[in-house]
Amino acid sequence: MFEIIFLGTSASAPSIHRGLSAQVVKHEEHRFLIDCGEGTQRQILQSGIGFKRLNRVLLTHGHLDHILGLAGLLSTFMRWEAIEEIEIYGGRSTLDRVHDLLYGVVLRGIRPPVEVKLLEIKSGLIFDVDNFSVTAFPVSHRGPDCYGFSFEEKSRRPFLAKNAEALAIPPGPWRRDLVAGKTITLPDGRQITPDQVLGPERPGTKFVQVGDTGRTDNLVEHVQGADTLVIESTYLVQESDMADRFGHLTAARAAQLAVEADVQHLILTHLSRRYRERDILAEARAIFPNSYVARDFDTYQILRGTCEKVVG
Ligand SMILES: [Zn+2]
Ligand SMILES: [Zn+2]
């Protein structure tokens, strides 16, 4: 299961009710901060999620409404010893700008007490653990090196406890080895193969995050089949000429992408202050009924085929 906590949902400038782009993606003990607009620190505090293990940052691109919060976040981490290092992932030109911000403004020759790792991403796998991985893919927005991120749980075969009981396999390391795909020999000499206790393979949950983007035709293959897609929706269709000019989407285009890519649920973020939330929602739902508009501090839990808002 992936959990998404929206920390900022406004485009370009904050509004009274919405902070600038930032959200947290959690998977068990792993946490990722996606983008870090100005004011993100305070949003983290207000959300109650805490700073612990929040030291892996994925940047969709280098526009100021997505990165300025890193300056404040780093200056807080520098005084807070529980964090030993911070990893910031981004495209080349995004990292260049982040480097200027952190080393030219925040640090200015001081050696950071926390290790700052600027990790350049290219298309492909950027993070991989036992049960899920994160892949970056290119996105067309103003300027180079913009990326989207696909979080995918690995498919797995469920352990069939009933079969294990019927075979009288004792609990403990034997069952663990079977789940790991190993054939075991029980103390009574019987050999048990994984196929005897594991069900058919089940695909994992897929969550895709796209930041600012002006095109959707090149995203279909990456978004394909996602249980949930989070994507920008800066404009309404009445101002689609502006959306084109500034490299952004309308709610309608985001919804069309969800249809084309056979997505299960769509959550819109990065909203312009000029529109009412219900108009954005209506435009998207007319095309793709499973659409939602994120608000700051909304939390969604994403499982295979489901996307539930956590009522807090
Ligand atoms: Zn933006
Ligand atoms: Zn942008």
* Neighbouring-strand partners of residue 151: 134, 207
Query: Annotated catalytic residue: which of 35, 65, 227, 296?
Result: 65
Q: Which two tokens stand for residue 27?
A: 């998977």
What is the 63 CA–ligand 1 centroid distance (Å)? 6
Instruction: pLDDT tens for the chain, 312 residues: list them.
Output: 999 999 999 999 999 999 999 999 999 999 999 999 999 999 999 999 988 889 899 999 999 999 999 999 998 888 876 788 999 999 999 999 999 999 999 999 998 888 999 999 999 999 999 999 999 999 999 999 999 999 999 998 889 999 999 999 988 888 889 988 899 999 889 999 999 999 999 899 999 999 999 999 999 999 999 999 999 999 999 999 999 999 999 999 999 999 999 999 999 999 999 999 999 999 999 999 999 999 999 999 999 989 999 987
Give yes or no: 35 in active site.
no
Name the DSSP letter for residue 261. Answer: T
Structure tokens, 17: 């009710």
Which of these, 233, 215, 221, 228, lies nearest to 290 by C-alpha position?
228
Which ligand has the shortest distance to the CA of 233? Answer: 1
CA 294, CA 298: separation in Å to the nearest integer?
A: 6
Length of the chain in residues, anyone?
A: 312
Q: How far is CA 274 from the centre of its chain?
A: 26
Cα–ligand 2 centroid distance for 160 (angstroms): 48
Predicted TM-score of the model (pTM)? 0.92
How remote is the CA of residue 159 from the centroid of ligand 2, in Å? Answer: 45
Ligand nearest to the CA of 214: 2
Q: Is 201 exposed, middle or buried (0-12, 13-18, 19+ CB in 10 A)?
A: exposed
Ligand nearest to the CA of 35: 1
- Residue 230 bridge partners (DSSP): 209, 267
Ligand 2: centre distance to CA 247 (Å): 8
Q: Is 210 exposed, middle or buried (0-12, 13-18, 19+ CB in 10 A)?
A: buried
Measured in Å, residue 58 CA sits from the centre of ligand 2 at 14
What H or E segment, with its residue span, contains residue 164?
A: helix 161-166
